[in-house]
Amino acid sequence: MSKPITIKDIAKKLNVSVATVSRALRGSTEIKKETKMAVLEMAKEMDYHPNLLASSLSSKKSKIIGVVVPTINRYFWSNSISGIENIAYKKGYKVMIFQSGESFTKEAEIVETLANSKVDGIIIAFSKETKDFIHVQDVINRGIPVVMLERACKKLTASKVRTDDKNGAYTITKHLISKGRKNIAYICGPLSLDVCRDRQKGFQDALKEAALPYREEFVVEVEDFRFDQAGRALEKLWGLQIKPDGILCFADILAIGTIHAAENLGIKIPDQLSIAGFGDDETSRFIRPAITTMSQPSFEMGELAAQIILEEIQLLGEPHPIRSEIIKPQIIIREST
């Protein structure tokens, strides 16, 4: 195996200083245009590849942001990542993406790996199993900026970007009530997550304001955000003596699973049962009936999280405010209600 080409080799070939080559490769305006072009052409001819680790050690910045999400196969997370990358790339940063698979153990290992890899900052959305946040507090204590995206923890002193979940669930429940629904159920994700509890609170508040009953048996908690789990939740609800005439689903993926199960049970939507989701996944508008939902600007939320982490990286060591950005979702009314 041949020895990797270094900037010393390029400097020797062109009979210039190592500092000149280094500045030219960085695009410095201190170097003449002709010299810069000669260095770049020689680097290409000699098949030179920069040592990113060495560069990060000398500059004390890796120019890498770590992103940890529960999964990348859901629209909200994949679209948020696109927003993060859009901003990061424009600022000369690369993004390392990891998924925890909703596992606390895996999440903690990923965070430790990112911290030890000297990333400049971490954007994280916690797993459903995460109840202890010491792994993230340790990172903050080490001086690495952290921004929480959507799934946040109130105990951590770190910036966050999240949806106004309580108000969003309140708004869409009020919509179901306006359609004459009086027995409304809630199919939710793990209530260990703040986001699930916030939407449950908005759901409860809307029922209370309308003087409608809140029934414990009408709240069905699913372990995972999967179509089949939503279907089993509907079967459980439809087996009750008092059947629901409206259902709020924590996420569109659960609403899609609920609609599929309703068809198998011969339930007419929305005549017998109105179904609403949350998130405005792309698929929610194409299935039939199309799903009424709360639209979350996930791409823009990712962009905002990236902007905040980059600002905090630049201000590292200086006093700066901890930001809490609450994004208001918008209701989209479709055929399912």
Strands (E), 102-250: 121-124, 146-149, 159-163, 184-188, 219-221, 246-249
| Residue 290: DSSP 8-state | P
CA distance 287 to 19: 60
Contact 128, 189 (CB under 8 A): yes
Give the per-residue pLDDT at 52.
53
DSSP assignment of 99-117: E-TT-HHHHHHHHHHHHHT
**Domains observed in the chain:** 7-50 (1.10.260.40), 63-162+298-327 (3.40.50.2300), 165-295 (3.40.50.2300)
Q: Is 71 helix (H, G, I), strand (E, B) or coil?
A: coil
**Token pair listed for 86:** 């859009």
Contact 158, 139 (CB under 8 A): no
What are the distances in angstroms from CA 231 to CA 53, 101, 263, 286? Answer: 49, 22, 10, 19
Contact 142, 165 (CB under 8 A): no
Residue 269: name the closest of 253, 250, 288, 296 by CA.
Answer: 288
**Token pair listed for 21:** 């080559």
Give the per-residue pLDDT at 204.
97
CA distance 156 to 10: 48
Q: Is 145 helix (H, G, I), strand (E, B) or coil?
A: coil
CA distance 77 to 31: 43
The per-residue pLDDT for range 299-310, each reduced to its tens digit, is: 999 999 999 999
What are the distances in angstroms from CA 260 to CA 83, 127, 202, 289? Answer: 31, 27, 26, 10
Tell if the pTM clears 0.75, that is, is over it: yes
Give the per-residue pLDDT at 316.
80
CA distance 252 to 168: 14
Residue 101 Rama label (left phi>0; alpha psi -120 to 50; beta)? left
User: pLDDT tens digits, the chain, 337 residues: what are they?
Assistant: 457 788 888 888 888 888 888 888 877 777 888 888 888 888 888 888 776 545 554 556 779 999 999 999 889 999 999 999 999 999 999 999 999 999 999 999 999 999 988 899 999 999 999 999 999 999 999 999 999 999 999 889 999 999 999 999 999 999 999 999 999 999 998 888 889 999 999 999 999 999 999 999 999 999 888 899 999 999 999 999 999 999 999 999 999 999 999 999 999 999 999 999 999 988 898 899 999 999 999 999 999 999 999 999 998 877 788 999 999 999 999 999 9
Contact 75, 298 (CB under 8 A): yes
